């Protein structure tokens, strides 16, 4: 006769409350990612340009941004991005909706992305170049052909500058033959620059004002109203790629974020290389070696309290100890000939990585200790009973089973370090550092150089830019990119943790 099990006591509303909290958290996270994706990636879509005729006879052309109720409550206003900063002194125009008589989207409206003065919106009247004057409808294909040629020359010039001129300048004092090579490279750059010049665009705004624009300053040109959906999709993909692959320009308010991506990933990798062995060794000592007395408990409490210290405190510590203390001493010992210009006595990639390693060290120590505490004692006793030494027991039995917990600590450390900004402002991050710390010159990895960081780039563009409204889409796009970089780094560590857990067996959960 089977015995009936006692009926479980009712748990009340708590499971539903917990499930609802998890669902709400996931919903908020999904909403945040959707907001960043729509606002950030939508910036690269070539939106239609409207030509607006007002009741007072004025004409303007631009992209509609948003529509709001007026402050007095009477009627509504629409914000247009009209660009043409060199003609109007600004790029934004508010228009009363009731004053709009007609809205059109002419296919011939042109948008130019320029190095100076931002974008231009208007008509292409003619192109005057080395091969003659092209006016009317013939000007557009001539512009496209010549602009493609100039872009190829610009890429060749930039590659020559980055791969030849900059390394030669750095080696100029050590090698006597570098001067001739540098002069030859500069001559080639001047020749390429001369081939890019000589072309001028005759432009006209929709209200009839004419402007002559050197084609050398034009980066891209398109007619968004004449583009098909496939053309717009291709242009969107190219815009996203340029954002990922190009250097920033115009005080970080335009261009790409490639140096910031590289700097963020490299700093996190260096931080992980430093923090992992020290954190793991400290956790092993506290849990396996040290006598479990009052002193060890006090050290353990101190380590856990260090995890709650504000990050700016670590930045001040890194500035005083790493930069001015150790870095200044290294300059006096090994780089005295370069003084008073500091080599290691200023912020750089090395000091930023060490500061963040110190910041995340308590997380790795605590995660390692928790993993070691979960290893059953019979695993240790069985290894010792079979004749293994204490070191062999730790390295071949305990540590492999603790590896998933160590990687969990590393995941948490990466997630925190990749998003930190405050300490980096003191120990090495720069507003603009297009030269990444890795190149072909010995020792290839230059730890003394300053670097760019995605988190600081977001802060700088959002709060130090001249036009926050114009920079806002780049802030969204960079924030989304930072989230994706952290996600990729964490997924890599999670994959390694899953592989090790499957290989060595999962630890029991208490």
Burial class (CB in 10 A: 0-12, 13-18, 19+), 440: exposed
pLDDT at position 365 is 92
pLDDT at position 63 is 92
pLDDT at position 510 is 45
Residue 1 in this model has a pLDDT that exceeds 80:
no
345 contact partners, CB below 8 Å, separation of at least 6: 323, 324, 327, 328, 330, 331
Residue 419 in this model has a pLDDT that exceeds 50:
yes
Give the closest residue to 435 by CA, choosing from 458, 453, 452: 452
| Residue 275 confidence class, pLDDT cut points 50, 70, 90 | very high
**Structural tokens at position 54:** 């007002």
d(CA 32, CA 26): 10
SS3 letters across 277-312: HHHHHHHHHHHHHCCCCHHHHHHHHHHHHHCCCCHH
Q: Which homologous superfamily does the CATH classification assign to the domain defined by 258-504?
A: MetI-like (1.10.3720.10)
Which element (helix H / strand E) includes 220?
strand 218-222
pLDDT at position 197 is 82
pTM: 0.84
Number of Cβ within a 10 Å radius of residue 292: 10
Distance set, CA 412 to CA 225, 286, 356, 374, 419 (Å): 47, 20, 13, 19, 11
Question: Which one has a higher pLDDT value, 493 or 148?
Answer: 148
Residue 382 in this model has a pLDDT that exceeds 80:
yes
Residue 266 in this model has a pLDDT that exceeds 70:
yes
Contact 223, 109 (CB under 8 A): yes
Q: For the residues 112-129, what does the mean pLDDT come to?
A: 89
How many C-alpha atoms does 135 have within 13 Å on its Cβ side? 2
CATH 1.10.3720.10 maps onto the chain at: 258-504
d(CA 375, CA 65): 59
**Structural tokens at position 126:** 């003619």
196 contact partners, CB below 8 Å, separation of at least 6: 150, 153, 154, 157, 216
**Structural tokens at position 167:** 């390394």
How many C-alpha atoms does 80 have within 13 Å on its Cβ side? 22
Distance set, CA 443 to CA 377, 438, 448 (Å): 47, 9, 11
**Structural tokens at position 510:** 């208490």
pLDDT at position 61 is 92
| Residue 10 confidence class, pLDDT cut points 50, 70, 90 | low
pLDDT at position 505 is 57
User: What does the mean pLDDT of the chain come to?
Assistant: 85
Residues 484-510: tens digit of each pLDDT:
888 888 788 788 777 777 765 555 444
**Structural tokens at position 211:** 């402007």
DSSP state at residue 201 = E
| Residue 274 confidence class, pLDDT cut points 50, 70, 90 | very high
d(CA 378, CA 401): 13
Residues 287-301: tens digit of each pLDDT:
888 888 888 889 888
Q: For the residues 394-412, what does the mean pLDDT come to?
A: 85
Residues 298-341: tens digit of each pLDDT:
988 888 888 888 889 999 999 999 999 998 888 888 888 878 88
């Amino acid at each position: 006769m089977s015995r009936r099990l006692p009926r479980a006591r009712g748990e009340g509303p708590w499971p539903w409350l917990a499930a609802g909290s998890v669902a709400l958290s996931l919903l908020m996270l999904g909403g945040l990612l959707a907001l960043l994706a729509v606002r950030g990636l939508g910036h690269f879509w070539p939106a239609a340009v409207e030509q607006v005729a007002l009741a007072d006879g004025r004409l303007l052309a631009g992209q509609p941004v948003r529509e709001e109720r007026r402050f007095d409550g009477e009627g509504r206003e629409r914000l247009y991005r009209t660009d043409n900063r060199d003609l109007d002194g600004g790029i934004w125009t508010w228009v009363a909706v009731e004053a709009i008589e007609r809205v059109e989207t002419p296919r011939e409206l042109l948008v130019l992305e320029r190095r100076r003065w931002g974008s231009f919106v208007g008509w292409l009247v003619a192109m005057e170049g080395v091969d003659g004057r092209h006016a009317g409808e013939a000007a557009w294909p001539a512009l496209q052909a010549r602009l493609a040629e100039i872009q190829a020359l610009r890429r060749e010039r930039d590659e020559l500058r980055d791969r030849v001129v900059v390394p030669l300048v750095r080696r100029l004092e050590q090698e006597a033959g570098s001067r001739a090579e540098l002069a030859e490279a500069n001559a080639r750059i001047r020749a390429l620059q001369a081939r890019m010049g000589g072309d001028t665009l005759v432009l006209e705004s929709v209200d009839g004002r004419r402007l002559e624009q050197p084609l050398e300053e034009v980066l891209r040109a398109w007619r968004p109203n004449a583009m098909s959906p496939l053309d717009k999709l291709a242009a969107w993909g190219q815009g996203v790629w340029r954002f990922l692959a190009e250097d920033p320009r115009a005080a970080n308010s335009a261009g790409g974020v490639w140096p910031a991506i590289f700097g963020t990933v490299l700093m996190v990798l260096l931080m992980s290389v430093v923090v992992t062995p020290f954190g793991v060794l400290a956790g092993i000592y506290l849990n396996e070696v040290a006598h479990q007395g009052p002193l060890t408990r006090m050290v353990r409490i101190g380590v856990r309290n260090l995890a709650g210290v504000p990050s700016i405190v670590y930045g001040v510590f890194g500035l005083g100890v790493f930069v001015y203390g150790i870095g200044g001493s290294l300059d006096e010992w090994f780089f005295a000939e370069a003084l008073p210009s500091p080599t290691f006595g200023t912020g750089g990639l090395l000091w930023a990585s060490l500061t963040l390693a110190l910041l995340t060290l308590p997380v790795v120590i605590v995660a390692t200790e928790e993993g070691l505490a979960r290893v059953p004692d019979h695993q240790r006793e069985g290894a010792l009973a079979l004749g293994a030494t204490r070191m062999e027991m730790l390295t071949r039995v305990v540590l492999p089973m603790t590896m998933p917990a160590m990687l969990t600590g590393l995941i948490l450390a990466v997630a925190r370090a990749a998003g930190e900004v405050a300490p980096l402002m003191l120990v090495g991050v720069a507003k603009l550092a297009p030269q990444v710390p890795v190149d072909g010159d010995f020792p290839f990895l230059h730890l003394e150089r300053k670097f760019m960081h995605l988190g600081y780039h977001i802060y700088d563009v959002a709060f130090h830019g001249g036009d926050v409204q114009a920079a806002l889409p780049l802030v969204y796009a960079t924030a989304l990119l930072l989230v994706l970089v952290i996600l990729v780094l964490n997924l890599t560590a999670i994959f390694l943790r899953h592989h090790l857990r499957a290989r060595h067996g999962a630890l029991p959960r208490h």
